[in-house]
Each structure stands twice: as structure tokens, then as C-alpha cells.
Amino acid sequence: MGDASTCINCGRAVAGSDQKFCPACGQPTPVHRIDWHFLGHELEHSVLHMDRGILYSLKELMLRPGHLIRSYLEGRRANQVKPLLLLMISAAAVVLLGKYLLGGDLLGSAMQAGFSESGATQPGSGVDPAVAMGTFNMVKDWINVHLTAVTLFLLPFEAAAFWLAFRGRGLNYPEWLVVTAFLTVQTFVFMALAILVRKWVPHAQEWSVAVASLYAVFSLVQLFRNHSVWTTALRTLVGLGGFMLVQGLITLAAAYVFVAMTH
């Protein structure tokens, strides 16, 4: 396809047949026609390759999370999938599993437990139980349908919570966005596992949230390996607590909006 002696993208001369990428624009050289061989090669090297790609990034993120995050922050990114792309892929996988195994109700049991504990439907709460339950169901259904969008919307708030909790540790806010994206991918992995084992493990979906929080502690302790383990663990819990508070306030505000729109 095209003239093999020049880059098909920018027209720069190709030095030789051993040149894999154009030094000017990064375009692969030579360009190969898209066929079954090409698609198989892309699948192997982008997804299944053991020293790079999606599976490699997920493996490292779950087994050596702090080391992977540190490597990415320090610039060793050649073998890593970009965190936002990894987040989108993991979110899509969770949504797909939820659609076929849970009927699309990804957050139902976990949210229901929290909603029941809040006492909003109990007598004397000052809230009409029917209105409270209807609002809860509307918010839950909307989040189930727009899980990826909600996750991306909340990501900056979670990053801000960690940035404030870890002031003085040398990471700026954009770097915390990256760290938080990786931690969110971990949460999606645990959510996916919970969906798969829910038939055999009681309350697996509720437990996945707690496990993801504990794994975030482990990940940040490993990331800040030169600092006190207990101080890092405490700061992580403060960051998570702050984010959960903000998340709860945003959910409450969304509930009021739903009520206002439907009454």
C-alpha cells in the first residue's frame, strides 16, 4: 500500500526496510494492508502480548500496583496501556457482564444496602417512603445505564480527595488523576469478579467495594514505599472517606434533581 520508500502519513523518506516507524511522525513503516494476518498480529501485540498490552497492564496493576503506577508516573510507559483507555475498557467489560448476568442492574444490591441503612424509608424519617424508593430507583437505573460517564465525572473529585490527603508527597493533581484512574480500574476488576462469583459468594458485590478500598491502601503503600506504611494507609483512608462523602453529596443532589423533574 503506497510508496514503500516514503512515509505514507507525512511523506518523509524511509531510511530502509528495517525502519519500523517514521522518525518525524511515528507512523509505522511500511504500512500493511488490513487482512486476517494483520488483525491477528494486532490482537497478539496489543492485547495478548505478555510483555505489553491490556492483559500485561492488568496483571501488573493487580499484582504489583504500586510499582506499575510509579513506573508510569516516572515515564516508563512504553509497555503500558494508557490509564484512561484501560479504565474505559474495564468499565465496558463490567457493563457487559452486568447486562448478561445481572440484567443490567450493576449496583442494585450494593446501593440498596446503603439506602436501607440510611433509614430514608423508615417511619419517622420525615420522607415519604414511596417517594424515597421511587427516587432511589430512578437514580440507580440512571447510574446503571451511564456507569462509564458517571465514573469519568467522579474521577476528578476522587483525585482531588487524594491530592489533599497526600499533600507534601510530591505528586501534583494531574498525576493524581492518573493514579486514581488506575485505582478505579482495580475497582472494576473486583466488580467483575464479584459478578462472576455472586452465585457462590453471598453479598459478593457489596464485599467488592470493601476489597477494592483495601487494595487501594495496598497499592498506595507500595507506591510510596519510602514512607511510613501506617501514615500512607491512614492518608489513603482519609482520601477515600473524603471522596465517599463528596460522592454521597453528589448522589443526594442528583436525587433532588430527579424529584424536581418528576413532580
What is the predicted pLDDT for the residue at 144? 75
DSSP structural state of residue 68: H
Residue 252: all three cell numbers together: 443526594
> What whole-number distance in Å separates Cα of residue 256 and Cα of residue 234?
33
What is the predicted pLDDT for the residue at 1? 54
Per domain, the residue ranges of the chain are 1-31, 82-262
What is the predicted pLDDT for the residue at 79? 78
CA angle 232, 86, 191 (to 5 degrees): 70
> What whole-number distance in Å separates Cα of residue 251 and Cα of residue 153?
12
Other CB atoms closer than 10 Å to residue 10's CB: what's the count? Answer: 11
* Nearest residue to 101 via CA among 210, 205, 214, 207: 205
> What whole-number distance in Å separates Cα of residue 55 and Cα of residue 81?
9
What is the predicted pLDDT for the residue at 203? 81
What is the predicted pLDDT for the residue at 119? 45
User: Cα–Cα distances in Å, from 190 out to 98, 205, 224?
Assistant: 13, 9, 23
The number of residues making up the chain comes to 263
Residue 137: all three cell numbers together: 430507583
Whether this prediction's pTM lies above 0.85 is answered by no
DSSP structural state of residue 12: P
For the chain (length 263 residues), average pLDDT per consecutive 10? 69 73 77 72 59 79 95 87 89 88 68 46 50 63 79 94 94 96 96 90 85 96 96 97 90 72 63
